[in-house]
Chain A
Amino acid sequence: MSTTLLQELQGELRRLYIAGSDLAAEDFRLKKLEPKLAQLGERAPVFKRMAEDVAALTGPSEPEARAAKLQDVSLLLNSVLSTQGRTAAEGVTEEKPESAGLAELTASHSYRQLAEVQNALSTSGGGRYEIVTSAYQQGLFRDLRLFPFAVKALNDSYSELADYAVRYILPSYGRAIVPYLLEGLNMQGGREEERRLEVVRRLGVDPDDKRSLERLVAAAEEGADKVRAAAIACLGSHPDFEERLLEWSLDKKKSVREGALAALAVRDSSAARDRLYEAFTGKDAVPAAEAIGAAPSADMIARLVPLYEERLRREHAGEDDRKSKDKLWKELEPFTIAFRHAKHPELERLFLDMAASEQDYPSLGRLDFSEHLRVMNQAAGYLEDADTDEALAVLQALEERDPLYLQFAFHATKRLRPASELYDRYAGTGRGRLREAVSKKAQQIQKKLIETLREEVYAYEGYVRKRLPRERVEAEWDRRWLGWLIDRNELELVAAMAVPGEPKLLPYLEQQIERSSNNYYADYIFTALDQGGFDEDTKYELLMRWMERKDWKKTYSVYRDESELLLRIPDRLAGSAADRLEPLAKEARTEYVKETMQEIVHSLRRRAESAN
């Protein structure tokens, strides 16, 4: 059977469907097909019928009937064509679909699990980030059906999500996906392709994978500027491209130079270091510093330290004006960038000396306050992590000179010395109350000290600051801190340090309850009460007093933690609690508060009854 002819007829009928059957009369293209169909009709009746139908379609007829005819021919033709569909694949090779080397991926998850993530990665709108991150944490991305969506995430309109894919999801598949990623690279693309190459850079290209390397070089040569830079940055670990990298590092385009410098820092050969040093001392100082900062090698650091020292020690003559200050900072800033994550004995020696004898480095004196602080903070921060007695001594001396650096010495002391010594040094003898009141400097010290303490005892968990667990407070901190903080009325820190057995704690908290009724304080007061190891009756009494002190006429909401506290009242006290709360609830102005309080009263009453 002649499928070509039928397919041709199908095309003509489709054309008529688009143009309208009213135009079918005397359609010469259809008419041309008719004799061919009639000829075939001699052997197969179905063609004969088709030839007749086509004749009727093009011949004289009512418009309605013509439309019906078109429908009928088409119906018959479609039925016939449906039995003639080509299925044979052409040019079948011996090859399998080339494997992406991700054979360990599974397909064991269910529709519900996958669809949620797939939707999140193919739509826009809120709540998607949490779905994707929790799916990643649950290992859902090990399912191969999510892999294409992980790649698609590079182009997500929510950049946090795209960055998450770059940093966590895609690297988790391992180096095997590099060829796959490069296969899909669009050289003229934008941010998405930059991200794709960033993943490639993180994973590294297999040196034997010539195809991927070729693709990278092509992108480095022909891509859009950003793509070029990102592709060049991937080539650092391949010695063959050193010459090219050196060349690119002198390119006219800034982004290309940046990519090349980043790659050279990874390369870290002597030629690469020479070029980086040259850039560092030339006009590309900041890009070179960024490159070194991202991949600090010992040799490179060793080479930069003497230069830093020389520049810091330089005596300055002439005016101390804006222009000269800016020029000086331009010379020094790249070092603060390059040494960001660096560790090197030479660097440590320099920082020790800087912190101990700042006066030997005249450049420092000429810097503005904030810039000076940045340089010194870097040095002090380095020393804080050094964990040596020598560094500690220098930091403590630095702190004596300027309380601005108290935090470094404090953290280092806490790490290296027993808890009691920390207390003695910062809060114990010699820093009596009297002195604090009179000396401005002492006040400054105390302020800084309390800030530093806050950092230590409230650790960030996500976006929320959490109090350290009680065991850690007891093990790591001298108990005298609690009394010291109570004396200074630092409620937040009292709550953080509260442990059982401090006689001053209860009176202090009672006083707090008398003084304030703001919910902000309630959290700290009741945390301190909980942690202070008081018995149920005391806690109950204070909670009731707090409730009674409240101005219910101005209370518009019952906070969750408040109602939880009330519901936690032990059964034997529930009855009297209900008695005391009930009149309070009546005072409330808003229905919501009234209702919530009533609910609480009810549940307390029920508990009281069931306890009896």
Chain B
Amino acid sequence: MLELTASYIDSLAPNAAAVKNGRGLVQKNKFVKLNISEEGNLLFGECSGSGKSNYVCSVDFVTPDNPVSRCSCPSRQFPCKHALGLMYAYADGTAFEKASVPEDVASKREKAEKREETKAKKASEDAPAKPKKVNKAALKKKIGQQLEALDELEKIVLSLVRGGLGTTNARTVKDLNDHAKRLGGSYLTGAENELRRLALLLEQGDREQGYTYAAEQLTLLNAFIKKGRAYLQAKQEDPELAPDAESTIEEWLGRAWQLSELKEAGRVTENAELLQLAFYSYRDEARKEFVDTGFWLELGRERVHRTVQYRPFKAAKHMKEEDSFFSVAKIAELYRYPGGMNARVRFEGMLPREAAEADYESVRSAASASIAEAVKAVKNQLKDPLADRSPVVLLKASRIARTEAGAFALVDESGAALELGDIYRLPQPTTPLLPLVDPSLLDDCAVLAMFEHRMDTGQLVAQPLTLIQGDRIMRLLY
């Protein structure tokens, strides 16, 4: 029998408005017909709309980890509010009449099945996948362009360093942005974003703080230019060289990894189970995208992964906005990107499962008992200038305490204390919420924290994202 929870349906919805509208349809009794197939894996029905005729919609669970919604409404969102409403009605326990699968769905199912078959056939026939033919001349030309663009980038960076950040003005900002655009044209989208980020820092209202981060950004660009140049030169000499699937340099250069490439590089975990511990979304002005970020614990493997979904401002309306996810996600194939402590992961389709005792136990055991050890790992990553600047770690706390200066500290079982603060890279402070939390949560708990090194004060600060104690998860962000 089909099992649907409201929170799972929420997670399928493309955005909050669709959730509201879908629920609204159920509340207003807009569904004229509610049917379920004999096998119980297809919901279908009719919903009255503002037009003359009813919308005919269905949600097909024939592949349970990837439900397919179909609807006769003109919406470009999938699932549309009608399909969502259909599922909410089911989850609410509304009576669904048994009926045979409608013809059009049956034919679509058949087609999909055939597609799968031919795909499987193809895969089995030429089992050793044809190595992709590389157009060497084109690749060479591309690399040449990239190298040239790197030289250009170095020039503009050095001239900025020579003149000093103090002399920058609106004109500099405009030049940087124009230059960034050209970088994008020369296949250096990673550099494009970072240069735009520099421009944004120079525009910032608080000049003093802006300078510190801008100087850091300049050195970062320096590291990128050097590493990128060496990497590209090596590639220019040997075009057959496979992309570096261990370090993040490809991504810095602007590569978007394809799942098949990750698979080829052996970066797939099968049958993984992830529990989301924190989620947030922010506007990245440099990328001109919304970034939905989730931190997930891989159960049993004790690693915190990151999911990242980019939604370009221009296309945000038509893309699914991710949301907090409270169940455990069962994933057939988990693709891991190259990266440090919280490497990005991706997956296509998943099945939700209610989190159980053992999962929370897993969270406890995944948490690092010693601050010193965790900090060591963090510092080890920060040493590499191109590594992620804000690693996330799960820490065990014997208590969270106040300091004399009025700040907060995490104390581990050995009595070592880690100062908690709010960091620049997160869109919202969370430490002001600590006094609001149920005090019993602050003893003997696990804390998911994001680190950041502050160049100006020489401090490594940790911002708490989530507190976990037993089966209580207190998310301070989302």
Q: A residues within 8 Å of B by Cβ?
A: 3, 6-7, 10, 13-14, 16-23, 63-64, 66-68, 70-72, 74-75, 78-79, 81-100, 102-105, 107, 109-116, 144-145, 147-148, 180, 599, 602-603, 606
Give me 15 other A-B pairs in contact (C-beta within 8 A), A66-B162, A70-B161 excluded. A10-B458, A17-B165, A18-B166, A18-B211, A67-B158, A75-B219, A85-B453, A86-B459, A87-B460, A89-B417, A96-B442, A100-B435, A110-B7, A144-B433, A145-B477
Instruction: Decide: A116 and B16 in contact? CB cutoff 8 A.
Output: yes
Give the residue of A64, A71, A606 whose beta carbon is less than 8 angstroms from that of B52. Answer: A606
Determine the distance from Cα of A462 to Cα of B376 in the docked complex, in whole angstroms. Answer: 61
With A103-B438, A111-B280 known as contacts, the answer to whether A19 contacts B453 (CB < 8 A) is no
The B66-103 residues at the A interface (CB cut-off 8 A) are none
Subset of 12 A-B contacts with CB under 8 Å = A14-B212, A17-B164, A64-B162, A67-B158, A71-B158, A78-B385, A88-B417, A89-B410, A89-B419, A110-B326, A115-B478, A148-B432
Chain B residue nearest to A567 (CB atoms) is: B52
Instruction: Decide: A91 and B52 in contact? CB cutoff 8 A.
Output: no
Determine the distance from Cα of A3 to Cα of B460 in the docked complex, in whole angstroms. Answer: 13
Give the residue of B163, B326, B434, B455 whose beta carbon is less than 8 angstroms from that of A22. Answer: B163
The 10 closest A-B pairs by CB, nearest first: A20-B164, A85-B460, A91-B404, A89-B409, A111-B478, A89-B419, A82-B382, A103-B438, A112-B16, A110-B324
Find chain A residues with CB under 8 A from B165 CB. 17-18
B436 sits at the interface (CB 8 A): yes
Give the residue of A104, A111, A180, A606 whose beta carbon is less than 8 angstroms from that of B323. Answer: A111
Chain A residue nearest to B380 (CB atoms) is: A83
Q: B residues within 8 Å of A by Cβ?
A: 7, 10, 15-16, 19, 52-53, 157-159, 161-167, 211-212, 214-216, 218-219, 222-223, 279-281, 321-324, 326, 371, 375, 379-380, 382-385, 399-405, 407-411, 416-420, 432-440, 442, 453-456, 458-460, 462, 473-478
Instruction: Decide: B161 and A67 in contact? CB cutoff 8 A.
Output: yes
Instruction: Decide: B459 and A22 in contact? CB cutoff 8 A.
Output: no
Instruction: Decide: A102 and B436 in contact? CB cutoff 8 A.
Output: yes
Chain B residue nearest to A6 (CB atoms) is: B458
Give the residue of B10, B162, B379, B404 whose beta carbon is less than 8 angstroms from that of A67. Answer: B162
Find chain A residues with CB under 8 A from B407 CB. 89
Chain B residue nearest to A114 (CB atoms) is: B478
With A71-B158, A110-B324 known as contacts, the answer to whether A88 contacts B419 (CB < 8 A) is yes
Determine the distance from Cα of A584 to Cα of B32 in the docked complex, in whole angstroms. Answer: 31
With A64-B158, A81-B453, A112-B19 known as contacts, the answer to whether A21 contacts B164 (CB < 8 A) is yes
Find chain A residues with CB under 8 A from B400 CB. 96-97
Instruction: Decide: A92 and B436 in contact? CB cutoff 8 A.
Output: no
Determine the distance from Cα of A89 to Cα of B158 in the docked complex, in whole angstroms. Answer: 38
Instruction: Decide: A74 and B215 in contact? CB cutoff 8 A.
Output: yes
Instruction: Decide: B433 and A145 in contact? CB cutoff 8 A.
Output: yes
Find chain A residues with CB under 8 A from B462 CB. 87
Give the residue of A3, A105, A112, A606 whose beta carbon is less than 8 angstroms from that of B436. Answer: A105
Instruction: Decide: B52 and A86 in contact? CB cutoff 8 A.
Output: no
Determine the distance from Cα of A107 to Cα of B438 in the docked complex, in whole angstroms. Answer: 11
Give the residue of B385, B403, B417, B433 whose beta carbon is less than 8 angstroms from that of A148. Answer: B433
Give the residue of A78, A94, A97, A112 whose beta carbon is less than 8 angstroms from that of B216. Answer: A78
Smallest CB separation, A574 vs chain B (Å): 12
Give the residue of A82, A599, A606 whose beta carbon is less than 8 angstroms from that of B379. Answer: A82
Give the residue of B157, B417, B437, B478 whose beta carbon is less than 8 angstroms from that of A110. Answer: B478
Find chain B residues with CB under 8 A from A88 CB. 416-419
Instruction: Decide: B164 and A18 in contact? CB cutoff 8 A.
Output: yes
Give the residue of A75, A100, A109, A113 whose beta carbon is less than 8 angstroms from that of B223. Answer: A75
With A105-B436, A144-B433 known as contacts, the answer to whether A87 contacts B419 (CB < 8 A) is yes
Give the residue of B52, B411, B437 whose beta carbon is less than 8 angstroms from that of A603. Answer: B52
Find chain B residues with CB under 8 A from A180 CB. 435
Instruction: Decide: B455 and A93 in contact? CB cutoff 8 A.
Output: no
The interface residues of chain A, by DSSP majority, are classed as helix
Determine the distance from Cα of A606 to Cα of B52 in the docked complex, in whole angstroms. Answer: 10
**Most interface-central of A70, A79, A111 (chain B CB within 10 A):** A111
Instruction: Decide: A96 and B439 in contact? CB cutoff 8 A.
Output: yes
Chain B residue nearest to A82 (CB atoms) is: B382
With A81-B455, A92-B401, A97-B408 known as contacts, the answer to whether A17 contacts B211 (CB < 8 A) is yes
Smallest CB separation, B324 vs chain A (Å): 4
Instruction: Decide: B382 and A83 in contact? CB cutoff 8 A.
Output: yes
Determine the distance from Cα of A18 to Cα of B166 in the docked complex, in whole angstroms. Answer: 5
Determine the distance from Cα of A103 to Cα of B435 in the docked complex, in whole angstroms. Answer: 9
Find chain B residues with CB under 8 A from A104 CB. 438
Determine the distance from Cα of A213 to Cα of B475 in the docked complex, in whole angstroms. Answer: 34
Chain A residue nearest to B157 (CB atoms) is: A71
Give the residue of B162, B435, B437, B459 whose beta carbon is less than 8 angstroms from that of A85. Answer: B459
**Most interface-central of A89, A105, A147 (chain B CB within 10 A):** A89
Find chain A residues with CB under 8 A from B163 CB. 20, 22
Determine the distance from Cα of A113 to Cα of B460 in the docked complex, in whole angstroms. Answer: 32
With A22-B163, A91-B404, A599-B52 known as contacts, the answer to whether A103 contacts B439 (CB < 8 A) is yes
Instruction: Decide: A145 and B158 in contact? CB cutoff 8 A.
Output: no
Smallest CB separation, B424 vs chain A (Å): 14
Find chain A residues with CB under 8 A from B478 CB. 110-111, 114-115, 145
Give the residue of B159, B403, B454 whose beta carbon is less than 8 angstroms from that of A89. Answer: B403
With A75-B385, A78-B385, A86-B458 known as contacts, the answer to whether A93 contacts B164 (CB < 8 A) is no
Determine the distance from Cα of A508 to Cα of B42 in the docked complex, in whole angstroms. Answer: 55
Find chain B residues with CB under 8 A from A97 CB. 400-402, 408, 434-435, 437, 439, 442
With A18-B211, A79-B385, A85-B453 known as contacts, the answer to whether A94 contacts B401 (CB < 8 A) is yes
Give the residue of A17, A99, A115 whose beta carbon is less than 8 angstroms from that of B214. Answer: A17
Chain B residue nearest to A105 (CB atoms) is: B436
Give the residue of A22, A72, A116 whose beta carbon is less than 8 angstroms from that of B162. Answer: A22
**Most interface-central of A19, A63, A100, A145 (chain B CB within 10 A):** A145
Smallest CB separation, B265 vs chain A (Å): 27
Smallest CB separation, A182 vs chain B (Å): 14
Find chain A residues with CB under 8 A from B322 CB. 111
With A14-B215, A74-B215, A86-B459 known as contacts, the answer to whether A96 contacts B402 (CB < 8 A) is yes
Instruction: Decide: B453 and A98 in contact? CB cutoff 8 A.
Output: no
Smallest CB separation, A106 vs chain B (Å): 9
Determine the distance from Cα of A153 to Cα of B435 in the docked complex, in whole angstroms. Answer: 20
Find chain B residues with CB under 8 A from A18 CB. 164-166, 211, 215
Find chain B residues with CB under 8 A from A85 CB. 375, 379, 382, 453-454, 458-460
Instruction: Decide: B385 and A92 in contact? CB cutoff 8 A.
Output: no
Find chain A residues with CB under 8 A from B434 CB. 97
Find chain A residues with CB under 8 A from B219 CB. 71, 74-75, 78
With A22-B163, A107-B476 known as contacts, the answer to whether A95 contacts B402 (CB < 8 A) is yes
Find chain B residues with CB under 8 A from A103 CB. 437-440
Smallest CB separation, A508 vs chain B (Å): 34
**Most interface-central of A13, A17, A92, A98 (chain B CB within 10 A):** A92
Instruction: Decide: B166 and A19 in contact? CB cutoff 8 A.
Output: yes
With A75-B223, A88-B417, A95-B401 known as contacts, the answer to whether A14 contacts B408 (CB < 8 A) is no
**Most interface-central of B375, B433, B434, B477 (chain A CB within 10 A):** B433
Chain A residue nearest to B15 (CB atoms) is: A112
Give the residue of A6, A68, A114 whose beta carbon is less than 8 angstroms from that of B158. Answer: A68
Instruction: Decide: A92 and B409 in contact? CB cutoff 8 A.
Output: yes
Chain A residue nearest to B279 (CB atoms) is: A111
Determine the distance from Cα of A113 to Cα of B6 in the docked complex, in whole angstroms. Answer: 14
Instruction: Decide: B436 and A71 in contact? CB cutoff 8 A.
Output: no
Determine the distance from Cα of A22 to Cα of B164 in the docked complex, in whole angstroms. Answer: 8
Chain A residue nearest to B418 (CB atoms) is: A87
Smallest CB separation, A181 vs chain B (Å): 13
Give the residue of B161, B401, B402 whose beta carbon is less than 8 angstroms from that of A21. Answer: B161
Determine the distance from Cα of A99 to Cα of B403 in the docked complex, in whole angstroms. Answer: 15
Instruction: Decide: B222 and A75 in contact? CB cutoff 8 A.
Output: yes
Smallest CB separation, A179 vs chain B (Å): 10
Chain A residue nearest to B207 (CB atoms) is: A18
Instruction: Decide: A82 and B52 in contact? CB cutoff 8 A.
Output: no
Determine the distance from Cα of A17 to Cα of B216 in the docked complex, in whole angstroms. Answer: 10
